[in-house]
Structure 1
């Protein structure tokens, strides 16, 4: 199964300009879409899922085709790759949703997915901003300073809000799978220390700069792209990230706490 996914990755890299400009039908007898989007995906499969997530792929049952002709076309195609392209042409099902949570919001609107990750390799943040046209702007950040799990979630939120403000977001829905951060920012939970209190002050200040903004807590499976980017950012895996930029953050987004010894 991995060989099939890797073949698709090679085709996408070889024909990247074409993949970026068109909806691509992937005809296969195997459940690739289900495998690539499983919440428990990890390792190479997770990295490939993120890379393929940049494109508008539609998985269909396999029919009889002249596979050799398609393979020859891929091998002969020698187009240049646009290194600056980081968008996808079609929004996900989340981006198209107009459920009760979004009623009353004037257009255009954007949806911001953020997530933080801390593991043995380091820490990082993943950001996915869905534009009104359905394009996705993706970014991964590696933190060069110590953070806790909650700190990483706050850093992801703050960096995501800064990105949304840079592109001129007017109406914004922010989605994070950290229930604690969402409730703290929304006023449901109290701060659990001076550092958290600083983050709680910083995030709402950025939210207030957007005309209409709402922070939601969502299940992890609904935030899978941001989660995958955060894990790759923590590992500084710039090779597997492909066209998605990897940034490095030297210092926290909040002022440094001063410790006085008595």
Structure 2
């Protein structure tokens, strides 16, 4: 008899158009067998993105080295991000031989997402300068940072003006510099 009841129950559940009604009936049916249904909470896309930034630095595309006679450009990839745990950055520096140097940074101060992007860029520029690199091609994950550095966008916020001034000052230390 229980088998017939179960078949009727399944047919009724599957034919109902209301999803919540189906879930309620499944919860009642499973409750008889000491199985309790708990709905899955929504995971917002931003939380997943923050998790990935925090634990995984995405590998950059294959290195593209600009070759000008006797000049070999090094490539720097930066990504700064803000999460509920704070701000951080991922830096990947690729040499002319394809050797990668990967760094993950956590900032110990409050920062907005744009500030984190600038901090990532500045950290990468400092690292490249200390390594004695003279020719640098930078790829940044922020359109705002790139467009402010290229003069396409104006920095209106005082904090962004300070970051822009620091980044331009650091960029001028390289003999050849490009940012995308």
TM-score (norm 1): 0.46
The question of 1:190 aligning with 2:158 is answered no
* Structure 1 unpaired stretches of 5+: 1-39, 54-91, 217-262
Determine the structure 2 residue equivalent to 1:115: 79
1:142 maps to which of 83, 87, 106: 106
The answer to whether the 8 A contact 2:57-2:104 is kept is: no
Distance, in Å, in 1 between the alignment partners of 2:84 and 2:49 is 18
Per the alignment, do residues 188 and 137 of structure 1 end up closer, same or farther by CA in structure 2, a change over 3 Å counting? Answer: same
**1:189/1:105 Cα in 2 relative to 1: closer, same or farther (>3 Å)?**
farther
Query: Against the structure 1 CA distance between its residues 143 and 131, is the aligned structure 2 distance closer, same or farther, given a 3 Å change threshold?
Result: same
Which has the higher relative contact order, 1 or 2, with Cα contacts under 8 A spaced 6 or more apart? Answer: 1
Q: Does the CA-based 8 Å contact 2:121-2:167 persist in structure 1?
A: yes
CA–CA distance in structure 1, aligned partners of residues 164 and 148 of structure 2: 7
Partner-residue secondary structure (3-state), 2:146: helix
The alpha-carbon distance between structure 1 residues 168 and 157, as it changes in their structure 2 partners (threshold 3 A), is: same
1:166 corresponds to which of 127, 130, 139: 130
| Larger Rg computed on CA atoms | 2
Root-mean-square deviation (CA), in Å?
2.6
Partner Cα distance (2:76, 2:99) in 1: 12
Matched residues, number: 132
TM-score by length of 2: 0.65
Q: Which residue of 2 aligns with 1:209?
A: 173
Q: Once superposed, which parts of structure 1, at least 4 consecutive aligned residues long, lie more than 3 Å away?
A: 40-44, 102-106
Structure-2 change in CA distance of 1:136 and 1:177 (3 Å): same
| 1:8-64 residue CA offsets vs partner (Å, 9 max, x unmatched) | xxxxxxxxxxxxxxxxxxxxxxxxxxxxxxxx88868x95x659x6xxxxxxxxxxx
